[in-house]
Structure 1
Amino acid sequence: MTGLPGTYESYWMETAPGSAYSGPAGDLEVDVAVVGAGIAGICAAWELARAGRRVALLEADRVAAGVTGYTTAKLSVQHGMIYARLRSSFGAEQARLYARSQQEAVEQVGRVAAELGIDCELETAPSHVYTERPDAVDGLREEADAAREAGLPASFVEETELPFPVAGAVRVEGQAQFHPRKYLLALVADLVRRGGVVHERTRVVSLHEGEPCRLTTEQGTEIVARDVIVATHYPVFDRALLFSRLEPRRELVVAAELPADLAPRGTYLTHEHDTRSVRTAPLSDGRRLLIVTGESFTPGDGEVGARYERLAAWTGEHFPQARVTHRWAAQDNSSTDGVPFVGRFHPGSRHVHVAAGFGGWGMSNGVMAGRLLAARIAGEELPWSALYDPGRFHVRETASLMKLQGSVVKHFVGDRLASSHVDEVEQIPPGTGAVVRVGGRRCAVYRDEQGTAHSVSARCTHLGCLVHFNDAERAWECPCHGSRFAPDGRVLQGPAVRPLEPRPLD
């Protein structure tokens, strides 16, 4: 896909390259093994190392380079229209605990940045959820009331600094935004100084629960640990059955240079127009970086190039002096009741813990999860531990659960009954991919710009759904649980841990 605006790279990745960490030279024994070096895993590992634990942080790719490296990086307690829903579904006390746990996470970043002297471009900013529709104002007023009841400095306002009119907004004071990789890479460096070990390019492929627990990597190395934290965004082990309660969503991001005097300093979100999120970050020479996120979709839905074009067009219409410089995509998973899963991996777990389902709000949730899991391993229960317990189940979750599983079944069965995307490999243009029947089997075939076809199995190695091609990012995506693969079959994003198998075309 050509002609899309900006360089396809995350601004956070480009401006904070970081250090490299080698894989383990041999077997390893530690107090705690943390699988996944995104914000939740890094924060948990750092908290544990600070408490004197021997910690190993294991990452399949590079630290803070997965979902965390491609975030919007809002650090906020305002997670969309959440507090009225929490009050209704969970009760007013649980809504207060949610707000308190998230606000403490926001404040924790400021405390740690000051303690370690981290220059991570941390800025205080009010956050907003807004609507352009007069008929949606009553819902915002209810949300503002619920947020205030939860203990937040929230108010309903009709004026904002956005360069277009809104019908109303919920404003929450004292929130923040920052450069996530500058913050997290500094935490990783401090983790190492405290005796922790960090291993990149170390994909964990199996877990044996016991006393102690044993992990096996793709290279055959064994890590022995009393406790294990699975913080892989989407859990890479299925024994907890959380895949049945997590819905993957993908959103696109465009970033553009904008004169500082035209840049909003608060953060903004609306679920209208298929989601639009706006924030800015500091640049130099009187400029700021405008970051616009939106076009929410399920991985594998296709037409990603057209979605980028719509997002860039919206940005140009509302910020005509913005010049797009970067574009990237972010992915997260939402739980069926809208609250993350942080705690015991499954009801029988004694020494395996999980953090997942951040619903697009990984910055505050990741910090919160790191603190909660470190406390749990130390034998301490925080006031909100039960709220985030993965073993919970609410009757009101049933409808969302059934809808999610219906979508999975639709893809698992329906994609197999449908005809192939194209009839012949020769019909696939250069730079694109399609699922084709070859020798009676469905193959995922990508034709590169030079015309060479690359064929792999079309069955996701997680649970067997058929993958779809993402035209803008040139990746195979599973629409059931969000696994992503490179054109040659390499795993880009879990829960899959094994690559798509090569398939001959002759």
Structure 2
Amino acid sequence: MENEAYWILSSEGKNYEKLKKDITTECLIVGGGIPGITTAYLLSKKGVKVTVVDAGKICGGCSGRNTGKVTSQHNIIYSKIKSEYNLKKAKSYYEANNKALNLMESIIKENNIDCSFERLPAYTFTESDDYIKDIEDEFEVCKAIGIDCEYHKSLPLPLNIKAAISFNKQAQFNPKKYIDALAEIVIKQGGEIYENTTIKDVDKRKLNKITSEDGYVIYAYNLVIASHHPFYDGMSFYFARLEPERSYIIAMNKTKDFPKGMFINVESPSRTLRSYEGDGENLLLVGGEKHRVGKGDEDKNYYDILESYAKEKFGEDEVKYKWSAQDWLSTDHIPYIGYINAEFDNIYVATGFSKWGMTNGTVAAMIISDLITSGDDEFKETFTPSRSKSYLSKEFIKQNVNVAVEYISGMLRCGDKEVSIENGEMKIVRIKGVDYGAFKDENGKLFIVNIKCTHLGCELRWNNCERSWDCPCHGSRFDYMGNVLEGPAINPLKSYGEGPNKVEPNIL
């Protein structure tokens, strides 16, 4: 069974051409996920000429590989924001996400989008006495904000629940069907979409000059970087303010009753649960087993762990789909949305959604579309990427100490000198003093790639579940052939015999 998200398999969507000419547009949006496509929808609806480009397929990234929860309940977050900032900031974060949830529902109703959108309660729970106080503190902050929420000492789950909070009137849906429909509406509203179009360079001017991998030039008055991790940094060092985290999801054939609602726990190991009915499927989604990218256990099969958990707790035993997702966590729990830095007034960024990209991605579209059309938005200060605490927090220092350790330890590693590999096996091999990653596929074909990350040169690590080379420093990922799967890296890995990798941070 290939590791592909059910959402992506469930909605083929339209195919869009690759960019093959120079163009000029009012607004170029890089990234065809929920923030990019929603921004394009809102702007084109107001008559702005928009162009969307994506390095792969529309909704082929994290927007199509999540749990499909549309909720303003983001685990234990409001008490954290209150502690980091104040209650006013926590309330603004809630109001933005709640507005985004309602906007998504109105878009679905207005355009008759069939995406299995359903209003349901969302629960955060714990099975540990150690986290009861965290749940209680979160509940008190939520009540002070004015959120429609309830406290529970038990839930209708076969789990030993110690405490829980529910947000009423949240939602779940099929994200791929939603985004595919929005993309078609963007075209009808005069927008353009190009797939398989990778952007490699930005020349910052009043009229931005953006160049694709194939050398075609896009002139754009406004540039929106909604590419999950910014491919262009603008001297803002987003790679140092974002922590990359990978998590895993299985979808099982649901044969037993499951309560109506969405569930996520507070403690580790992480567990997120929901059911899905539609398109002839009746599924139970079980997710979790999160770890920092490049820091997973090579001996663990995270899908097998989730399957064992689902069998033990819920009695389900047929895994139909399995996939993983990469999230970028900000250092202060709030995404970076708005002007890419304090100096540029026509380049915008949306990143760091910290696992809650459906509503936060829509918040990004709301803020950026308002900034482009009116120069202002009620939530711009809450999410501004230029806020000082995102640079000076303990989490920022911790992440960058980790990067330094990984960089140094990678330089000290030595691989095997002999290339003796079985089919389906990976080894790190040292050839002429250089470490390479060697993988032999099921047909016996050997792939040997330089495992120095092309972003900043950190040593890559093997992810056995996804058969990918992952960077423990800043989260770039490559397939075993060397192709880029996730940024911030923009260059592929070189195969043995092709010379050293091209390391290019693209900070300037």
Short-chain TM bin: over 0.9
- Pairing of 1:91-102 with structure 2 (within 5 A): 91-102=86-97
Does 1:183 pair with 2:182? no
Question: Cα offset for 1:380?
Answer: 3.7
Question: Cα offset for 1:321?
Answer: 3.1
The whole-number CA distance in structure 2 between the counterparts of 1:172 and 1:322 is 30
The whole-number CA distance in structure 2 between the counterparts of 1:349 and 1:416 is 37
CA deviation vs aligned residue, 1:400-421 (integer Å, no higher than 9, x gap): 111100111111111111222x
Instruction: Give the counterpart of 2:240 among 231, 234, 244.
Output: 244
Secondary structure of the residue aligned to 1:48 is helix
CA deviation vs aligned residue, 1:153-204 (integer Å, no higher than 9, x gap): 1121112121223011011101000000111100000000111000000000
Question: Cα offset for 1:443?
Answer: 1.4
Question: Cα offset for 1:397?
Answer: 4.8
The whole-number CA distance in structure 1 between the counterparts of 2:71 and 2:116 is 15
Question: Cα offset for 1:352?
Answer: 0.4
Give the equivalent residue in structure 1 for 2:504: none
Q: Is the 8 A contact 2:477 2:485 kept in 1?
A: yes
CA deviation vs aligned residue, 1:61-102 (integer Å, no higher than 9, x gap): 000011111111111111110111111211111111000000
Q: Provide the aligned C-alpha RMSD in A.
A: 1.7
CA deviation vs aligned residue, 1:290-332 (integer Å, no higher than 9, x gap): 1111000112224365222211111111110352111100111
Secondary structure of the residue aligned to 2:361 is helix
The whole-number CA distance in structure 1 between the counterparts of 2:283 and 2:113 is 21
- Among the aligned pairs, what percent are the same residue? 30
Q: Is the 8 A contact 2:131 2:267 kept in 1?
A: no
Give the equivalent residue in structure 1 for 2:419: 425
Give the equivalent residue in structure 2 for 1:156: 151
Secondary structure of the residue aligned to 1:243 is helix
The 1:213/1:16 distance shift into structure 2, 3 A limit, reads same
Q: Which amino acid aligns with 1:102?
A: N
Question: Cα offset for 1:25?
Answer: 2.7
Give the equivalent residue in structure 2 for 1:12: 7
Q: Is the 8 A contact 1:130 1:167 kept in 2?
A: yes
Q: Is the 8 A contact 1:263 1:288 kept in 2?
A: no
Does 1:491 pair with 2:460? no
Q: Is the 8 A contact 1:333 1:360 kept in 2?
A: yes
Secondary structure of the residue aligned to 2:251 is strand
Greater alpha carbon shift after TM alignment, 107-116 vs 410-419: 410-419
- Pairing of 1:162-311 with structure 2 (within 5 A): 162-238=157-233, 239-259=235-255, 262-283=257-278, 288-303=282-297, 305-311=300-306
Give the equivalent residue in structure 2 for 1:504: 497
The whole-number CA distance in structure 1 between the counterparts of 2:390 and 2:232 is 26
Does 1:447 pair with 2:440? yes
Secondary structure of the residue aligned to 1:425 is coil
Q: Is the 8 A contact 2:42 2:365 kept in 1?
A: yes
Q: Is the 8 A contact 2:70 2:172 kept in 1?
A: yes
Secondary structure of the residue aligned to 2:315 is coil
Q: Is the 8 A contact 2:414 2:430 kept in 1?
A: no
The whole-number CA distance in structure 1 between the counterparts of 2:489 and 2:226 is 14
The whole-number CA distance in structure 2 between the counterparts of 1:460 and 1:291 is 33
Does 1:70 pair with 2:78? no
Output the TM-score relative to the length of structure 2. Answer: 0.95
Is there any run of 5+ residues in structure 1 with no aligned partner, and where? 1-5
The 1:83/1:499 distance shift into structure 2, 3 A limit, reads same
Question: Cα offset for 1:272?
Answer: 2.3
The whole-number CA distance in structure 2 between the counterparts of 1:197 and 1:505 is 37
Greater alpha carbon shift after TM alignment, 90-99 vs 267-276: 267-276
Task: Give aligned pairs, total.
Answer: 497
Is there any run of 5+ residues in structure 2 with no aligned partner, and where? 500-508
Q: Is the 8 A contact 1:337 1:396 kept in 2?
A: no
Give the equivalent residue in structure 2 for 1:3: none
Runs ≥4 residues deviating over 4 A: none
Question: Cα offset for 1:395?
Answer: 8.2
Q: Which amino acid aligns with 1:145?
A: E
The 1:312/1:502 distance shift into structure 2, 3 A limit, reads same
Q: Is the 8 A contact 1:432 1:471 kept in 2?
A: no
Does 1:473 pair with 2:466? yes
Q: Which amino acid aligns with 1:62?
A: K
Question: Cα offset for 1:275?
Answer: 0.6
Secondary structure of the residue aligned to 1:195 is coil
